[in-house]
């Protein structure tokens, strides 16, 4: 038993001595820096620039990709903004057209307040197949109260009269047609005459005697005879007088007050029941007009 205890003490002492020697050896060890060989230096000098280039390329590719993503996002945003701008411009255009239309309609209604007729607002939806708009089609018909021989006007003046009506549409023979004869009065001189359509969006004033003192610039209004057109509606203005022709009457050129090339809305005047036409009515079209 005594021998076993002495053996254990010996092992413990031995282990302590070995540990102390190991710690002392580590503390006394000196690390030496290796000097690179010629081969190692050559390899390092050759490979390092390549590694540096690869690292730089990686950074460039990363930056390029980020820029590409940014450009794509910006392009999408620009497309969205362009669509929004386009919608806004379209809305502004529509609002401006509505504003202009409201002004035109307001002028029409204000102009017709003094007329003793029922009124129907209508829009021009068609023109005759020939030029000069001698016949126009409206988007209102008999179901809206429109009747044949009803005068058609704008705030600028006389358009013509309704000569054909269906349930939802009506055709108007304008004063540009030679079959539509309008009794007029020269506003300044009170001279009576007849306006007929001729060509090139113009009319002719007929039956004006040579001794009448009409002049270029004189305005013409409806005379109120014939039982069709109310009195005092503007018809046109004298733009030329040919005094060199021989005969008892003058050759007078008239430009209508209405710009038929820009005609959009009109007012149809419905004769009040019980009021009969006087004298003669405008002649009906000599040929069928096709729209």
37-69 per-position pLDDT tens digit:
666 666 566 666 666 666 666 666 666 776 667
Q: For residue 55, is it within any domain?
A: no
* Between 150 and 155, residue with greater pLDDT: 150
8-28 pLDDT tens trace:
666 666 666 656 655 655 555
Q: For residue 84, is it within any domain?
A: no
Pairing status of strand 157-165 against strand 170-174:
antiparallel
pLDDT of residue 280: 36
Out of 52-66, 216-230, 257-271, least confident range: 52-66
Q: Which residue from 220, 232, 216, 219 is spatially nearest to 269, judged by alpha carbons? A: 232
* Between 53 and 112, residue with greater pLDDT: 53
Q: For residue 98, is it within any domain?
A: no
Provide the β-strand partners of residue 206: 194
Determine the structural domain holding residue 171 and report its residue range.
118-270
pLDDT value at 287 more than 60: no
Q: For residue 81, is it within any domain?
A: no
Pairing status of strand 170-174 against strand 135-138:
antiparallel
Q: For residue 48, is it within any domain?
A: no
Q: For residue 94, is it within any domain?
A: no
Check: CB of residue 195 under 8 Å from CB of residue 254.
Answer: yes
Average pLDDT over residues 187-198: 93
How many distinct structural domains can be found in the chain? 1
Query: Which of 47-61, 70-84, 192-206, 264-278 ranks highest by mean pLDDT?
Result: 192-206
* Between 99 and 256, residue with greater pLDDT: 256
pLDDT of residue 106: 61
Average pLDDT over residues 207-216: 91
pLDDT value at 29 more than 90: no
* 154 token code pair: 């704008």
pLDDT of residue 276: 45
Q: For residue 206, is it within any domain?
A: yes
In this structure, the dihedral spanned by the alpha carbons of residues 175, 180, 183 and 189, taken in order and rounded to 10 degrees, is: 40
pLDDT value at 166 more than 70: yes
Q: For residue 125, is it within any domain?
A: yes
Mean pLDDT of the chain: 76
Give, rounded to a whole angstrom, the gap between the first and last alpha carbons of the chain: 138
Q: How confident is the model at residue 248 (pLDDT cuts 50, 70, 90)?
A: confident
Q: Which residue from 265, 242, 244 is spatially nearest to 252, judged by alpha carbons? A: 242
Query: Which of 27-31, 117-121, 122-126 ranks highest by mean pLDDT?
Result: 122-126
Q: Read out DSSP for the chain?
A: -HHHHHHHHHHHHHHHHHHHHHHHHHHH--PPPPPPPHHHHHHHHHHHHHHHHHHHHHHHHHHHHHHHHHHHHHHHHHHHHHHHHHHHHHHHHHHHHHHHHHHHHHHHHHHGGGS-SEEEEEEEEEE-SSSTT-EEEES--GGGT--TT-EEEETTEEEEEEEEE-SS-EEEEETTSTT--EEEEETTT--EEEEEE-STT-EEEE--BTTS---TT-EEEE---SSSSPTT-EEEEEEEEE-SS-SSB-EEEEEESS-GGG--EEEEEEPPTTPPP-S--PPPPSS----
Q: How confident is the model at residue 200 (pLDDT cuts 50, 70, 90)?
A: confident
pLDDT of residue 118: 83
Q: Could you tell me the CA-to-CA distances from 127 to 38, 203, 208, 259, 291 in Å, in that order?
A: 99, 19, 32, 14, 6
CATH number, domain at 196?
Answer: 2.40.10.340
Out of 113-122, 152-161, 174-183, least confident range: 113-122
Contacts with 200 (C-beta within 8 Å, 6 or more apart), sequence order: 132
pLDDT of residue 107: 63
Average pLDDT over residues 202-213: 91
pLDDT of residue 286: 41
Predicted TM-score (pTM) of the model is: 0.60
């Amino acid at each position: 038993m005594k021998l076993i205890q002495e053996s254990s003490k010996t092992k413990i002492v031995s282990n302590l001595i070995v540990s102390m020697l190991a710690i002392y050896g580590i503390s006394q060890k000196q690390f030496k820096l290796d000097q690179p060989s010629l081969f190692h230096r050559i390899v390092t000098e050759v490979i390092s620039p390549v590694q540096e280039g690869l690292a730089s390329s990686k950074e460039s590719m990363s930056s390029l990709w980020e820029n590409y993503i940014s450009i794509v996002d910006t392009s999408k945003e620009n497309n969205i903004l362009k669509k929004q701008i386009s919608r806004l411009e379209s809305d502004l255009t529509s609002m401006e057209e509505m504003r202009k239309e409201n002004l035109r309609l307001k002028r029409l209604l204000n102009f017709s307040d003094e007329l003793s007729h029922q009124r129907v607002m209508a829009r021009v939806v068609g023109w005759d197949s020939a030029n000069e708009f001698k016949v126009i089609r409206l988007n209102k018909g008999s179901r809206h109260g429109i009747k044949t021989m009803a005068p058609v006007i704008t705030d600028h003046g006389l358009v013509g009269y309704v000569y054909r009506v269906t349930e939802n549409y009506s055709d108007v023979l304008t004063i540009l047609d030679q079959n539509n004869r309008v009794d007029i009065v020269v506003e300044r001189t009170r001279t009576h005459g007849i306006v007929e359509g001729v060509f090139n969006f113009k009319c002719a004033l007929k039956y004006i005697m040579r001794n009448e003192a009409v002049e270029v610039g004189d305005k013409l209004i409806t005379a109120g005879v014939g039982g069709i057109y109310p009195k005092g509606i503007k018809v046109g203005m004298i733009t030329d007088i040919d005094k060199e022709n021989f005969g008892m009457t003058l050759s007078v050129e008239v430009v209508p007050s209405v710009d038929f090339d820009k005609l959009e809305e009109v007012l149809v005047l419905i004769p009040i029941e019980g009021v009969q036409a006087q004298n003669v009515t405008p002649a009906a079209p000599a040929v069928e007009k096709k729209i």
